[in-house]
Amino acid sequence: MGEKLFYNGAMASFHYRQEIYRKLIHLSSLWMAGVIYFCEKPVSLAVFGGFMSITLIYEGVRRQDHALAHLLERVLGAALRPEEKAGRFKPSGAIYVLAAAFLCVLLFPRMIAVTALAMALTGDAAASLAGIKFGRRKVFDKSLEGAVAFFAAALVTADVIAAALPAGAGYMSAAAIAAFAAAAVELTAKKTGINDNLSVPLAAGAVMLLLL
């Protein structure tokens, strides 16, 4: 029994470390918010559209049986979830993040696009790690603790953006409501079947657009 408990604990620790690795890669996507802020709209759209094309090629290559596919598996495989490694084509989260960035640029003013995408990225990472580590109260197949962590991280992110960039009147109030809406969308993502990397930033941006 002791050996079994040790094995289960070791496996849980290993999977949590994997999740930390995945979320660090996820957070590295914050460079997209920088592109949105510092580049003109056509440039941002071209950058995200180009990376979407490259990512789709990667999605096809990594499913093949040759040296390049094996190299990609060794380098990036740990960042993928088991269902993303399945034989049938299921894009990784990267393509949805890029699509969200593309649509945020297309649909929202610059500051809203930056905020919506950044809040979604930091909130998602916080929700996942806090939910796995501390989640006890289940809501829609996720945890209430994860949702609270999402809201807190998104709010801090908006506060940092407001301190670093020129934000207009009412920005923080709108961002707080958008963070709450985004946390709710993330919490119900499994029920709706819409990938939260896409739905969460678009929801946050839409709320801020309505309020501002």
| pLDDT at residue number 141 | 76
Cross-strand pairs, 139: 142
* Residues counted in the chain: 212
**Domain limits at 51?**
2-211
Cα distance between the two ends of the chain? 59
DSSP designation for 62: T
Work out how many domains the chain is built from and give that number. 1
pTM confidence score: 0.81
| pLDDT at residue number 76 | 52
Burial class (CB in 10 A: 0-12, 13-18, 19+), 156: middle
Compute mean pLDDT per 10 residues along the chain, 212 residues long, and list them. 41 69 86 96 97 81 58 54 53 86 97 98 93 84 91 97 91 97 92 89 98 92
Contacts of 206 (CB under 8 A, 6+ apart): none
| pLDDT at residue number 199 | 95
| pLDDT at residue number 7 | 33
| pLDDT at residue number 134 | 87
| pLDDT at residue number 22 | 80
| pLDDT at residue number 155 | 96
Long-range pairs for 46-51 at CB < 8 Å and ≥24 separation? 48/98, 48/99, 48/101, 48/102, 48/105, 49/102, 51/98
